[in-house]
Amino acid sequence: MGVRKLCVIILLFFLNTCTPFPASRLHRGARSINDWMGKDSTTTGSSTVAMNSREETFEANEDDRLQVQEYLERNGYLPIAQVFGTRYRISDDNFRNALQSFQRFVHLPDTGVLDEETFRLTVSKRCGVPDLVGPAQPSGLYTSWAQWHKLDLTYRIVSHLETIAEGALRATVRSAMEIWMEVTPLSLCEELDPEADVDIIIRHERGEHGDGVAFDGLDGALGHAFLPATGEIHLDLDEQWTVGRVPENNGTDYMSVVSHQIGHALGLLHSGVEGSIMFPIYTDKENINLSYQDVLSIQSLYGNADDSADVQHRCRDRTTTSKTLTSASVS
């Protein structure tokens, strides 16, 4: 078994995803939140499990409750409820507790009630990496247990997209790498020698693609990445990827998603603050910038930038000898 495959298996164990995620029902039969807004509450299914104060516009029925249970399982809030391959409905207490954890993570009121705003977030496009991974960081940082022990890293895009020209794709990935380089001494450089080893590989994959974490077609999970030193970023080939800002629900901005996944590949987990680049749920942003906490988190792993102005030159000037982290710069 290769070292890379072993690393993937170990990481999946820690992410509680040794069992592949169940096939998503999100974004398929799910009614949109706009459907809910116009719905007559008297036509709701018979098994209503919760409602909020705006009951004239939203009620969650049993199908929604099971759909959200699956969401909570996939994203680290619940173990997968399954016996001999058969899924089962968890108790209302367990569901409420897990929903409260999710609401606290995304900074919603932790009512434990499947209200309209909570439901809307669970049917939004998002990262495929679970939210609750490892112990909570009392510092408020969202670093993982893993980091690279060198500062010069290389990457390669091993498959391209039909919808984005190769040159535009490479430029977008380069810009995403530079966001992280500007605040750290990292060099994140594209390796052009096809024979050379690289640290981070970017792939575009569809459905089952060999790591046990299948993609789910259009929308739903947009991508996932593995922590150091596995160095793999996978983006869902079935998304409508775009370069440049587009209105919500009209494609998915590649820059936004790949910037987030690079954060994982460097050792960061999810932040529950919407302004963070590591917020797991996709939002339409005009500009892709690191938040203050993003900067503190990545700098706690790799130190501050020696000179942020030289980002454009780091890859041009890099040598084959990797700089080694000094003990002072390792948290």
Of 27-35, 55-63, 165-173, 206-214, which part binds Zn ion (CB under 5 A)? 206-214
Known binding residue 27? Answer is: no
Residue number, 127 or 298, with CB nearest to Zn ion: 127
Q: How many residues bind Zn ion (CB under 5 A)?
A: 4
Contact 65, 87 (CB under 8 A): no
Please, what is the minimum distance in Å from the beta carbon of residue 329 to Zn ion?
25
Task: Write out the DSSP string of 288-317.
Answer: ----HHHHHHHHHHH---S-GGGHHHHHHH
φ and ψ of 283, to 5 deg: -130, 150
Please, what is the minimum distance in Å from the beta carbon of residue 10 to Zn ion?
15
Sign of CA dihedral 261, 285, 205, 13: positive
Residue nearest to Zn ion (CB): 127
Element (H, E) at 257: helix 254-266
Q: Does 262 bind Zn ion (CB under 5 A)?
A: no
SS (H, E, C) 158-213: CCCCCCCCHHHHHHHHHHHHHHHHCCCCCEEEECCCCCCCCCEEEEEECCCCCCCC
Exposed, middle or buried, 23 (CB in 10 Å: 0-12/13-18/19+)? exposed
Structure-block tokens of residue 218 = 């259009």
Q: Does 8 bind Zn ion (CB under 5 A)?
A: no
Contact 183, 304 (CB under 8 A): yes
Residue number, 211 or 239, with CB nearest to Zn ion: 211
Please, what is the minimum distance in Å from the beta carbon of residue 127 to Zn ion?
3
Please, what is the minimum distance in Å from the beta carbon of residue 138 to Zn ion?
21
Q: Does 127 bind Zn ion (CB under 5 A)?
A: yes
Residue number, 186 or 201, with CB nearest to Zn ion: 201
Structure-block tokens of residue 127 = 């990262």
Print the binding letters for residues 230-249 with Zn ion: x by CB under 5 A, - otherwise: ----x---------------
Residue number, 187 or 261, with CB nearest to Zn ion: 261
Of 11-19, 36-44, 153-161, 205-213, which part binds Zn ion (CB under 5 A)? 205-213
Known binding residue 211? Answer is: yes
Q: Does 253 bind Zn ion (CB under 5 A)?
A: no
Residue 225's DSSP bridge partners are 233
Please, what is the minimum distance in Å from the beta carbon of residue 75 to Zn ion?
10
Known binding residue 238? Answer is: no
Residue number, 89 or 206, with CB nearest to Zn ion: 206
Contact 100, 112 (CB under 8 A): yes
Q: Which of residues 292-331 bind Zn ion (CB under 5 A)?
A: none
Structure-block tokens of residue 316 = 């041009």
**Distance from C-alpha of 70 to C-alpha of 73, rounded to nearest angstrom:** 5
**Alpha-carbon torsion angle 196, 202, 207, 212, nearest 10:** 70
Q: Does 211 bind Zn ion (CB under 5 A)?
A: yes
Question: Scanning the structure block, which residue is given the tokens 């499990």?
Answer: 49
Q: Does 129 bind Zn ion (CB under 5 A)?
A: yes
Please, what is the minimum distance in Å from the beta carbon of residue 17 to Zn ion?
11
Extract the annotated binding site for Ca(2+).
199, 216-217, 236, 239
Extract the annotated binding site for Zn(2+).
127, 209, 211, 224, 234, 260, 264, 270, 278
List interacting residues with Zn ion (CB under 5 A): 127, 129, 211, 234
